[in-house]
Amino acid sequence: MSAGPARHEARELHWHAGRLRVLGGITLALPPGRFTGLVGPNGSGKSTLLRLLAGLRAPSAGHALLDGEDVAATGRRAVARRLAFVAQDVATDVDMTVREVVTLGRAPHRGRTAAPAPRDREAVELAMARTGVSWLADRSWPTLSGGERQRVNVARALAQEPAGLLLDEPTNHLDVRHRLDLLGMLSASGVTVVAALHELELAARYCDHLVLLDGGRVVASGSPAQVLTSRTLREVYQVRATVREGPDGRPDLRLDPLDPPGGGAAREGGQTSASETT
């Protein structure tokens, strides 16, 4: 496969779970080497789209392309050398150390029974350092907290040395500092990053490109300022969004319920509506 950041494309992607339509015809091309955020309400199809892009599920119709090739038809090992995937929750009590778990990420690069080479060990140590879990290296997986497990999983993905990194709600379970650290690291990574995110404020600050999904379709895509407008957010999330331009030129969000219990917030929303970006 080609070098450079991973190129993801979707062509008329459909995915059904039984009779339920989860994705209904998604066509997009994600900017290579940039950080794309997939946003949208619960059940809008973010996780499914990620899995189709990663080739972990076969589409009901349409194609997910990685570097121009159908990812579902490509061997897993070849895909894993280009692409790493971090699931939302990994529930297991397997008795392995953090270093052993991160070493799983070297699997696509080594022989089936070969011991890890110095090259593999380097990649593992570097990946642990980048996610701040080096000090946990010898700890056993079942003793980790939810947030620590999440960071170890990201380290495992980085140890794959991927050209593309797909993450399903990577900030879930993380405290504020680690959230910012992780998103900062992802946006500076230089590889293609696609992450499903719930916090719109963080998506606005860290992502280069956003795809807003609703009901299995793309509602808007483009720069955070293009996607996160108060009109779209009211339509998709049923919230009152106040959007200002932040000091870094990115949108700064304030979100309130559409029908607040008191009148105060509504008045405040009314006052600032003049500064809404559309």
Partner 1 sequence: MTRPVLAARAPLVLTAGGAALTLSLLVAAGTGSADIPPLGVARTVGAHLGGPWETLPPLRDSIVWDLRLPRVLLAALTGAGLAVCGAVLQATTRNPLADPYLLGVSSGASTGAVCVLVLGIGSGVGSLALPVGAFAGALTAFACVLLLLGRTLGSATRVVLAGVMVSQLFGALTSLVVVLAGDADRTRAVTFWLLGSLASADWTLVGVCAVGTAAGLALLQLHAGQLDALAFGRETAAAVGFEVRRSEPVLYVVTAVVTGCLVAAGGAIGFVGLLVPHAARALVGGRHTVLLPAAALLGATFLVWADTAARTVLAPQEMPVGVLTALIGVPAFAVLLRRRTGAP
Residue from 123, 177, 171, 180 nearest 151 by CA: 171
What six digits make up the tokens of 150?
Answer: 């999440």
Q: Based on CB atoms, which residue is closest to partner 1, 162 or 269?
A: 162
- If one asks whether residue 15 binds partner 1 (CB under 8 A), the answer comes out as no
Give the residue from 82, 165, 81, 168 showing the smallest Cα distance to 130.
165
Residue 112 sits in the site that holds partner 1 (CB under 8 A): yes
* Residue ranges in 52-111 that form contacts with partner 1 under rule CB under 8 A: 54, 56, 75-81, 83-85, 87, 90-97, 100-101, 104-105, 107-108
Q: For partner 1, which residue of 3, 118, 138, 264 counts as binding (CB under 8 A)?
A: 138
Task: Give me the 236-265 binding string for partner 1, x by CB under 8 A, dash otherwise.
Answer: ------------------------------
- The binding track of 17-56 with respect to partner 1, each residue x by CB under 8 A or -, is ----------------------------------x--x-x
Sign (positive or negative) of CA dihedral 178, 238, 214, 16: positive
Distance CA 194, CA 242 (A): 26
Whole-angstrom Cα distance, residue 278 to residue 273? 11
**Helix H or strand E encompassing 122:** helix 118-130
Q: Where along the sequence are the contacts to partner 1 (CB under 8 A)?
A: 51, 54, 56, 75-81, 83-85, 87, 90-97, 100-101, 104-105, 107-108, 112-113, 138-140, 156-157, 160
